[in-house]
């Protein structure tokens, strides 16, 4: 599955894997205990540690989206590149996709 398609429990599963949690099972319809993509208390430490920058963009096809990349903003330009960012419906979704992408690449299995 492509990281940019991960949502909800599946995104949370892959964030947990990126965090080194190996005893987590692939979600089905059950909501996982660790909701990184919707709980700021879980996501914020990752965002800060990994230096994930979050912004917003209005795409002609997708509408208003959150956009995230890993890097530092120096005030002169945004650190986005064609292959270094992820988008999502929310800031946390974009940031957690970015984190998973940084650990596993564009696809997870």
In contact, 61 and 104? CB cutoff 8 Å: no
* Domain annotation covers residue 100: yes
Give the residue from 58, 75, 76 showing the smallest Cα distance to 67. Answer: 58
* Parent domain of 52: 3-104
- Structural domains in the chain (count): 1
pTM for the full predicted model: 0.86
Return phi, psi of residue 99, to 5°: -65, -45
**pLDDT of 24-74, one tens digit each?**
887 765 555 789 999 999 999 999 999 998 999 897 887 899 999 887 655
Whether 71 maps to a domain, the answer reads yes
Is residue 109 assigned to a domain? Answer: no
What pLDDT, in 10s, does the model give residues 67-97? 998 876 555 555 555 457 899 999 999 999 9
Angle at 107 between CA 59 and CA 20, to 5 degrees: 110
């Amino acid at each position: 599955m492509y990281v940019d398609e991960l949502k909800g429990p599946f995104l949370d599963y892959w964030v947990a894997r990126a965090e080194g949690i190996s005893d987590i099972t692939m979600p089905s319809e059950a909501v996982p205990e660790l909701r990184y993509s919707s709980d700021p208390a879980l996501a914020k430490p990752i965002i800060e540690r990994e230096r994930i920058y979050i912004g917003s963009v209005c795409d002609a096809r997708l509408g208003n989206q959150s956009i995230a990349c890993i890097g530092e903003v120096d005030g002169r330009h945004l650190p986005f590149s064609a292959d270094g960012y992820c988008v999502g419906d929310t800031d946390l979704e974009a940031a957690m996709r970015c984190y998973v992408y940084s650990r596993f690449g564009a696809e997870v299995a």
